């Protein structure tokens, strides 16, 4: 594979002739480049008028390679042929180099050019590009490639320093001006005074950061990759994109140039291209692939115009508990999300997944805009933001399966189209139920992104090493013990009157997963619905989420060491009633005795019509667990044996003996769980009274939530 390098434009704030005088001092040897041991002039010629000077040198390099490799190669030095063409009239120097040693095995080509800055004739520009193609090298092709790239990157980095060194040497010798070339027949004009501190005029787009005080900051960050003639300046990269290695600069310039030449449409800004390169460790082919996919996605969904066209619905403004809040200590925009106070289930049901996704995309687009603004304000590159997530109030309700599915899709879209935008994620007040959510979500988050997570449980964030290390004390939000008022909504439960039906969402091409992962069951008096879960490994976690659609039910969990008989679906023949829209399965044999054949592992929980219930249970033994939804019989009056009026009225309608639930369950295997199982003590359902660990712990709080 051919390795290529393309440099940014490096600018010397000195006239071309003075830079050439400094350049010539590099020969025949240069003590600043230890590997450059000698050079001999092979050929030299000058035009009659003296305007053009051509010189060919044979240069010897002592490459820093492993001794074994040198012995195998049988050489001490590597020789290169360098051909320089100096055009004093055009004020250019073209340099072409290629390797002489091992030229049949390794092909190295380099071209460099010194020229006058197009907008300031007293400045000099330098560009270079090179290619490396290793055909074969005694089986050490990979090693040779690494050595060559390392040596070349080192020489590139020192290149500008060397010219600056000799310019300073000339200045110390009193040489601050070298006259320009003029035809011999013409008298030379009087040299104008020139010094190294000449104040340049305003800078054009090429050298956009040589003197940032002379520029309008607004115009700088609006520079886009327009045409192939629009080149990046090295100082611009450092000021607006950050410190990059020479090879990283090369990847950015080459990918940018490729987009200019091939991409039809708006070219992304340099900082956006750089994010994709960083996301793929500057592998240009991989970065180009995901960047092109993202550009196509942005065009299809008109994401470039999202901030101008998207208007968040009122329910989001009232119940979405997130918003921008100043910046962190590094100048990054700070986004605060009070996830524990957010009714994710209510938002999904009221809005649908697509509206939530568009809202999150608008947040990311606003984040990009704020990064540009902060880059101007703080005078240094800021390409990502900090997110603070407060989990106070997080419980099993937040693990409602369609909500988690929507969250995973949002994460997937953001990871694919906004890489390297999250600088740091501060997770505060993480409850014990957090590991369950983390188990579900973390596989979808890039490993580099996960390394940026800092998690604080309880009030650990308040001391040294906590929040104050990343955010100035003056802007810590009031709900976290600070003094700064935060305008992030407090959230709350979304009223069910704002919920939309599945049909309404489906008509808008918004499809939730409830119809595929949730099951319906009918429960009748004397005919409960039971679900069998076989557990192989102890300490697994059974989770559930169900809605009581009609009637009142009692929810139980039982354990048995032996398997019940095959499920029998009760057609409810005893009642003469069929069960459209739901099934009814019974597992516990009537001959079984509670306490002998099976045991209760959770206290019964009475659930009213319209309630949503989420919870989990950590299994202590392998075997068979049975989840049961049973018809709730209203207790009769304790003062008399006569039935209550409500009971009498209920018996007059057969439908009063029917209940309906919609449920989803999942088992998290112990081998798949990331983290300590003991951290899930509070993930026992809120009605756990039989678990010794739960009843004995005064600090364990319910994470099973009932929303009415």
Q: What's 255's domain CATH number?
A: 1.10.8.20
Helix axes 401-417, 284-300, angle to 10 degrees: 120
Element containing residue 515 per DSSP (H, E): helix 514-517
Same domain, 295 and 310: no
Q: Which residues are bridge partners to 425 per DSSP?
A: 387, 453
Residue-wise pLDDT for 381-404, tens only, equals: 999 999 999 999 887 777 777 788
Q: Quickly state the pLDDT bin for 656 (edges 50, 70, 90).
A: low
Q: What is the pTM of this model?
A: 0.66
Q: Where are the beta strands (DSSP E) in 20-77?
A: 36-46, 52-61
Percentage of residues in the chain having pLDDT higher than 90: 40
Determine the average pLDDT of the residues in 335-361. 91
Determine the average pLDDT of the residues in 418-425. 94
Instruction: Using CB atoms within 10 Å of the CB of residue 489, give its burial: 0 to 12 exposed, 13 to 18 middle, 19+ buried.
Output: middle
Q: Would 648 be classed as within a structural domain? A: no
Same domain, 408 and 465: yes
For 652-655, the CB contacts below 8 A with 24+ separation are 654/575, 654/577
Same domain, 473 and 535: no
Q: What's 383's domain CATH number?
A: 3.40.525.10
Q: Would 288 be classed as within a structural domain? A: yes
The CA-based dihedral angle spanning residues 673, 677, 683, 685, taken in that order and rounded to the nearest 10 degrees: 100
458 vs 335, more confident: 335
Q: Which of 280, 301, 322 is the last residue before a domain boundary?
A: 301
Same domain, 309 and 297: no
Q: What pLDDT is attached to residue 59?
A: 94
568 phi, psi to nearest 5 deg: -120, 120
Same domain, 412 and 445: yes
Instruction: Using CB atoms within 10 Å of the CB of residue 189, give its burial: 0 to 12 exposed, 13 to 18 middle, 19+ buried.
Output: exposed
The answer, yes or no, to whether residue 32 has pLDDT greater than 70, is yes
Task: Give residue 77's Cα distance to chain centre.
Answer: 46
The answer, yes or no, to whether residue 186 has pLDDT greater than 80, is no
Please give the biggest Cα pair distance in the chain.
Answer: 131
Residue 562 per-residue DSSP state: S
Q: How far apart are CA 266 and CA 294, in angstroms?
A: 12
Are the C-beta atoms of residues 323 and 287 closer than 8 Å to each other? no
Task: Give residue 546's Cα distance to chain centre.
Answer: 33
Tokens in use for 537? 């490994």
291 phi, psi to nearest 5 deg: -70, -45
Residue 553 per-residue DSSP state: E
The CA distances from residue 416 to 248, 290, 294, 411, in Å, are 21, 7, 7, 9
Q: Quickly state the pLDDT bin for 511 (edges 50, 70, 90).
A: very low
Average pLDDT, the chain: 79
Same domain, 442 and 312: yes
- Report the DSSP pairing between strands 10-12 and 120-134: antiparallel
Instruction: Using CB atoms within 10 Å of the CB of residue 479, give its burial: 0 to 12 exposed, 13 to 18 middle, 19+ buried.
Output: middle
Please count the structural domains in the chain: 4
Q: Quickly state the pLDDT bin for 207 (edges 50, 70, 90).
A: very low
Task: For residue 47, give the 3-state DSSP assignment.
Answer: coil
The CA distances from residue 470 to 367, 429, 474, 562, in Å, are 18, 16, 12, 55
Neighbours of 616 (CB within 10 A): 23
Q: Where are the alpha helices (DSSP H) in 237-326?
A: 246-262, 270-279, 284-300, 306-309, 314-319
91 vs 354, more confident: 91
Q: Where are the beta strands (DSSP E) in 48-118?
A: 52-61, 78-87, 92-99, 106-117
563 vs 680, more confident: 563
Q: Would 611 be classed as within a structural domain? A: yes
| Most confidently predicted of 258-267, 307-316, 368-377, 452-461 | 368-377
Q: CA nearest 666: which of 540, 506, 515, 528?
A: 540
Q: What pLDDT is attached to residue 345?
A: 87
Q: Which of 173, 195, 214 is the last residue before a domain boundary?
A: 173
Element containing residue 412 per DSSP (H, E): helix 401-417
Q: Would 214 be classed as within a structural domain? A: no
Neighbours of 219 (CB within 10 A): 10
Task: For residue 461, give the 3-state DSSP assignment.
Answer: helix
Element containing residue 554 per DSSP (H, E): strand 553-560
Residue-wise pLDDT for 541-567, tens only, equals: 898 888 788 889 999 999 999 999 876
Neighbours of 543 (CB within 10 A): 21
| Most confidently predicted of 397-411, 426-440, 621-635, 660-674 | 621-635
Q: Would 696 be classed as within a structural domain? A: no
Residue-wise pLDDT for 615-650, tens only, equals: 888 899 999 999 999 998 866 544 444 444 444 444
Q: What pLDDT is attached to residue 115?
A: 95
Q: What pLDDT is attached to residue 507?
A: 58
Window from 5-9, 105-109, 394-398, 496-500 with minimum mean pLDDT: 394-398
Residue 71 per-residue DSSP state: H
611 vs 316, more confident: 316
Residues 6+ apart with CB under 8 A from 32: 158, 161, 162, 165
Residue-wise pLDDT for 51-63, tens only, equals: 999 999 999 988 8
Q: Which residues are bridge partners to 544 per DSSP?
A: 615, 665
Q: What pLDDT is attached to residue 1?
A: 65
Same domain, 668 and 536: yes
Window from 123-127, 481-485, 578-582 with minimum mean pLDDT: 578-582
632 phi, psi to nearest 5 deg: -90, 115
Same domain, 377 and 475: yes
| Most confidently predicted of 78-87, 234-243, 465-474, 667-676 | 78-87
Element containing residue 378 per DSSP (H, E): helix 353-378
Q: CA nearest 138: which of 64, 77, 63, 75?
A: 75
Window from 215-224, 346-355, 428-437 with minimum mean pLDDT: 215-224
Q: Would 193 be classed as within a structural domain? A: no
Are the C-beta atoms of residues 36 and 27 closer than 8 Å to each other? no
Same domain, 484 and 559: no
Q: Quickly state the pLDDT bin for 211 (edges 50, 70, 90).
A: very low
Task: For residue 411, give the 3-state DSSP assignment.
Answer: helix
Q: Which of 149, 173, 197 is the last residue before a domain boundary?
A: 173
Q: How far apart are CA 19 and CA 300, in angstroms?
A: 50
Structural domain span for residue 82? 2-173
Q: How far apart are CA 160 and CA 61, in angstroms?
A: 19
Determine the average pLDDT of the residues in 670-683. 46
Q: What pLDDT is attached to residue 331?
A: 95
Helix axes 284-300, 270-279, angle to 10 degrees: 120
Cis peptide bond upstream of 28, omega within 30: yes
Same domain, 317 and 392: yes
Same domain, 166 and 244: no
Residue 520 per-residue DSSP state: E
Same domain, 355 and 380: yes
Q: What's 69's domain CATH number?
A: 3.30.530.20
Task: Name the one residue in this structure whose structure tokens are 């434009």.
Answer: 9
Q: What pLDDT is attached to residue 502?
A: 63
Q: Would 185 be classed as within a structural domain? A: no
Q: How far apart are CA 13 and CA 204, in angstroms?
A: 14
Are the C-beta atoms of residues 597 and 573 closer than 8 Å to each other? no
Are the C-beta atoms of residues 598 and 558 closer than 8 Å to each other? yes
Q: Would 294 be classed as within a structural domain? A: yes
């Amino acid at each position: 594979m051919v390795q290529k390098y393309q440099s940014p434009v490096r600018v010397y704030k000195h006239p071309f002739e003075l830079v050439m005088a400094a350049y010539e001092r590099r020969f025949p040897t240069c003590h600043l480049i230890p590997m450059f041991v000698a050079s001999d002039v092979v050929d030299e010629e000058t035009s009659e008028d003296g305007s053009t000077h051509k010189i060919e040198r044979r240069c010897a390099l002592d490459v820093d390679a492993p001794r074994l490799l040198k012995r195998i190669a049988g050489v001490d030095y590597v020789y290169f042929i360098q051909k320089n063409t100096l055009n004093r009239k055009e004020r250019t120097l073209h340099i072409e180099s290629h390797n002489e040693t091992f030229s049949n095995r390794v092909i190295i080509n380099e071209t460099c050019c010194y020229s006058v800055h197009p907008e300031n004739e007293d400045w000099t520009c330098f560009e270079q590009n090179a290619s490396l193609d290793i055909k074969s090298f005694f089986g050490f092709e990979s090693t040779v490639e690494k050595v060559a790239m390392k040596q070349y990157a080192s020489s590139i980095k020192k290149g500008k320093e060397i010219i600056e060194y000799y310019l300073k040497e000339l200045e110390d010798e009193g040489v601050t001006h070298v006259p320009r070339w003029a035809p011999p027949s013409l008298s030379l004009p009087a040299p104008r005074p020139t010094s190294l501190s000449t104040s340049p005029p305003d800078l054009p787009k090429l050298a956009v950061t040589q003197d940032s005080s002379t520029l309008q900051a607004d115009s700088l960050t609006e520079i886009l990759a327009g045409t192939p003639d629009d080149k990046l300046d090295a100082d611009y990269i450092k000021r607006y994109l950050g410190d990059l290695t020479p090879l990283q600069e090369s990847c950015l310039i080459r990918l940018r140039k490729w987009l200019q030449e091939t991409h039809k449409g708006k070219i992304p800004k340099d900082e956006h291209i750089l994010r994709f390169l960083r996301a793929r460790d500057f592998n240009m082919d991989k970065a180009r692939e995901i960047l092109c996919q993202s550009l196509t996605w942005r065009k299809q969904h008109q994401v470039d115009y999202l901030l101008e066209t998207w208007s968040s619905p009122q329910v989001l403004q009232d119940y979405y508990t997130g918003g921008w809040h100043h910046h962190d200590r590094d100048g990054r925009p700070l986004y605060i999300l009070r996830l524990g106070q957010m009714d994710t289930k209510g938002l999904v049901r009221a809005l649908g997944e697509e509206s939530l996704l568009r809202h999150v995309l608008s947040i990311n687009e606003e984040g990009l805009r704020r990064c540009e603004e902060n880059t101007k304000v703080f005078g240094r590159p800021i390409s990502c933001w900090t997110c603070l997530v407060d989990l106070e109030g997080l419980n099993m309700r937040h693990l409602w399966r369609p909500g988690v599915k929507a969250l995973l899709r949002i994460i997937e879209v953001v990871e694919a189209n906004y890489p390297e935008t999250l600088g740091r994620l501060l997770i505060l007040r993480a409850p014990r139920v957090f590991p369950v959510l983390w188990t579900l979500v973390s596989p979808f988050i890039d490993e580099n992104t996960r390394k940026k997570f800092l998690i604080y449980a309880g009030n650990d964030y308040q001391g040294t090493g906590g929040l104050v290390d990343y955010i100035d004390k003056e802007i810590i939000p009031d709900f976290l013990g600070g003094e700064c008022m935060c305008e992030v909504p407090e959230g709350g439960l979304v009223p069910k009157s704002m919920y939309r039906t599945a049909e309404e969402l489906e008509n808008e091409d918004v499809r939730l997963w409830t119809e595929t992962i949730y099951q319906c069951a009918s429960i009748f008096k004397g005919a409960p619905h039971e679900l069998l879960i076989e557990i192989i490994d102890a300490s697994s976690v059974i989770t559930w989420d169900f809605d009581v659609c009609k009637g009142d039910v009692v929810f139980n969990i039982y354990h048995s060491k032996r398997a019940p008989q095959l499920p029998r679906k009760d057609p409810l023949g005893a009642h003469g009633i069929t069960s459209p829209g739901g099934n009814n399965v019974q597992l516990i044999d009537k001959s079984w005795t509670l306490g002998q054949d099976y045991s209760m592992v959770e206290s019964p929980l009475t659930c009213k019509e319209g309630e949503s219930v989420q919870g989990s249970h950590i299994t202590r033994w392998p075997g068979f667990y049975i989840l049961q939804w049973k018809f709730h019989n209203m207790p009769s009056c304790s003062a008399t044996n006569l039935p209550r009026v409500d009971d009498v009225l209920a018996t007059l309608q057969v439908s009063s003996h029917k209940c309906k639930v919609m449920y989803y369950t999942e088992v998290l295997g112990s081998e798949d769980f990331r983290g300590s199982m003991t951290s899930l003590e509070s993930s026992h359902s809120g009605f756990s009274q039989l678990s010794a660990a739960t009843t004995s712990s005064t600090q364990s709080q319910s994470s099973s939530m009932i929303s009415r």
